[in-house]
Amino acid sequence: MGFFFRKPQMPSADQALPGRSQPLFQPPLHFLNHRSLELVPEGGQVAMFGMGCFWGAEKRFWLLPGVWTTSVGYAGGFTPNPSYEEVCTGRTGHNEVVRVVFDPIQLPYSSLLRCFWESHDPTQGYRQGNDVGTQYRSGIYFYGSEQKEEAERSRDQFGLRLREAGFPAITTEIQPAPTYYFAEDYHQQYLAKNPGGYCGLGGTGLRCG
């Protein structure tokens, strides 16, 4: 007897779990630099990305010079203040995302986009490697028109490189930044706390430029 793979499907707002009116927890300080995960310093900007399991994705960004803080959370769904267990059911609509607070003078948004494209495979739909589910989809969630234009331009440029290399079309969603819900404390900077932990990111092996 064969086994049939059921393709993940996004829930509708009516199908989503109800969630709750209050956050489940208060975010801690960043494990590595002890800065507030909520604070955006004067002159700083925010970026948000979904690229598979957020443990490995967050590490790719905290290593970049010019990053103030990174955090992981849930965004792009319907359920208010979800828990990790609820997101994993596929019934919240949320994506696992990384929120990056950065200094645009030291680190332009284009460099964050390059890290995004080169660190995962944006052609896989609701999965990333062995991780399967709507919470593992590729996404860029922009703050303002400039980020939107840069994101779309980078998608078109990297998409051309992928097609030339024989990869399928990019499935990355590019949307205005939705409400962001911090993930549980143990998820924050997970691979700094657990250096041998699971990463889950692969990539196409192609560079943006």
- List active site positions: 53
Sign of CA dihedral 53, 59, 65, 68: positive
68 φ, ψ to 5°?
A: -80, -55
149 Cα distance to chain centroid: 19
Q: DSSP class of residue 136?
A: G
CA angle 96, 101, 104 (to 5 degrees): 130
Q: DSSP class of residue 133?
A: S
Quick one: residue 133, left, alpha or beta (phi over 0 = left, psi -120 to 50 = alpha)? left
d(CA 194, CA 107): 27
78 φ, ψ to 5°?
A: -115, -30
Which pair of structure tokens corresponds to residue 4?
Answer: 């049939």
